[in-house]
């Protein structure tokens, strides 16, 4: 079976800088300037034109192998592609199918599952969301209570998920459910695929402190999904769950967002004449050094990926460093705005029109999702430093 759009050339045959120049030129030429670095996560109705273009070009699944319709990028080229997306301020869409479900099906799925689900991911016909966290099982994900019982040829699901990103736009969900209530904590959990149009599913948006409705609650009341939608082995979904969380950590640990934060902070500081203030300048350059050091350690981890090696538990350091540095940048941004620091929406500061609170809002959630930073510190303490419990 043929998946996706044939690539126009062998990207891995190009030198890294030549490949970077091609990707950068395409993004700079075609990506809408009005959508760069937005203050919130955009809805599918707002950014679908760009991603449908990427799908038709064959660039939607940059992280998939050629044989499954992806770009087939080697690790170094993949990192360049991601870096250029971040540098250009390209917003994420409902990409859980691309960065999560697709790779999981390629690795753990059956041939029938790949044939059914990969093509509509590549065309953006299927938009996926992630059903992991629950009201009493966030960072302690293994405590989840959503249950799925096998009844004939179907799983019957009951329970709820929370903080489900853009579930209001998704038409499919992948989720973890307990399929053996008597098993130990990390055991007895299975990985299931579910059509969001199935009877018994209710989605309720959650309004955040910025007034946005990016996150949702999803409720399951006797929801049925075919037994063929079990990915991997029954009661062995925890292995798949961990592999997905590892993918998130190096992505969240990129220095590009803190670098962008520094650039907007510098613009605000110039508009208010703060670069001549020695106290502000000291704080600013401390942060600049932190971001530079983040870039150095990020390069060490990406080199591991480029060599095709597995990332160790020490990658948790990257997420902590990147997310907490960005929070400190956002905090200084509000301080630098002075009397405008508490105003919402666009505010005129000198010759600049800025959204003072946007970086602050954007910086709050990364320390929580993908495994909270407290959990990351526990991982470092136990698995890297071998400290006693």
Q: Hey, is 231 helix, strand or coil? A: strand
DSSP letter at 98?
A: I
Give the separation between CA 147 and CA 111, rounded to whole angstroms.
26
Question: In DSSP terms, which residues pair with 175 in a beta bridge?
Answer: 131, 192
Contact 217, 228 (CB under 8 A): no
Give the separation between CA 31 and CA 287, rounded to whole angstroms.
30
**Dihedral sign (CA 241, 243, 246, 248):** negative
Active site residue 248: yes
Give the separation between CA 348 and CA 352, rounded to whole angstroms.
6
H, E, C per residue of 332-364: HHHHHCHHHCCCCCEEEECCEEEECHHHHHHHH
Contact 325, 258 (CB under 8 A): yes
Give the separation between CA 315 and CA 248, rounded to whole angstroms.
10
The residue count for the chain = 389
Please pick, among 46, 86, 248, 306, the residue that the annotation labels catalytic: 248
**CB-CB neighbours of 111 under 10 Å:** 9
Q: Which residues are catalytic?
A: 248
């Amino acid at each position: 079976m043929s998946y996706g759009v044939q690539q126009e050339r062998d990207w891995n045959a190009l030198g890294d800088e030549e490949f970077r120049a091609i990707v950068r030129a395409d993004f700079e030429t075609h990506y809408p300037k009005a959508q760069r670095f937005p203050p919130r996560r955009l809805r599918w109705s707002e950014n679908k034109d760009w991603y449908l273009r990427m799908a038709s070009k064959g660039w939607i699944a940059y992280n998939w192998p050629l044989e499954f319709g992806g770009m087939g990028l080697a690790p170094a080229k993949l990192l360049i592609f991601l870096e250029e997306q971040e540098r250009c301020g390209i917003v994420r869409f409902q990409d859980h199918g691309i960065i999560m479900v697709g790779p999981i099906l390629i690795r753990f799925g059956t041939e029938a599952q790949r044939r059914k689900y990969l093509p509509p991911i590549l065309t953006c016909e299927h938009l996926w969301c992630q059903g992991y966290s629950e009201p009493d099982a966030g960072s302690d994900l293994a405590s989840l209570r959503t249950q799925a019982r096998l009844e004939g040829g179907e799983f019957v699901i009951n329970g709820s998920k929370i903080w489900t990103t853009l579930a209001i736009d998704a038409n499919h969900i992948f989720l973890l459910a307990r399929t053996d209530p008597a098993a130990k904590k990390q055991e007895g959990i299975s990985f299931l695929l579910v059509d969001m149009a199935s009877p018994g599913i209710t989605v309720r948006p959650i309004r955040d402190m910025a007034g946005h409705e990016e996150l949702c609650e999803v409720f399951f009341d006797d929801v049925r999904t075919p037994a063929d939608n079990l990915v991997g082995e029954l009661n062995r979904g925890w292995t798949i769950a961990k592999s997905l969380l590892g993918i998130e950590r190096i992505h969240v640990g990129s220095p590009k967002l803190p670098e962008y934060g520094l650039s907007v902070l510098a613009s605000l500081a110039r508009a208010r004449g703060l670069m001549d203030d020695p106290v502000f300048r000291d704080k600013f350059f401390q942060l600049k050094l932190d971001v530079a050091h983040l870039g150095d350690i990020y390069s060490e981890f990406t080199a591991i990926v480029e060599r095709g090696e597995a990332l160790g538990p020490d990658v948790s350091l990257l997420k902590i460093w990147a997310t907490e540095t960005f929070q400190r940048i956002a905090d200084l941004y509000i301080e630098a705005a002075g009397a405008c620091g508490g105003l919402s929406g666009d505010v005129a500061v000198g010759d600049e029109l800025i959204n003072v609170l946007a970086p602050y809002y954007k910086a709050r959630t990364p320390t929580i999702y993908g495994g909270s930073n407290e959990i990351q510190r526990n991982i470092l303490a136990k698995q890297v430093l071998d400290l006693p419990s």
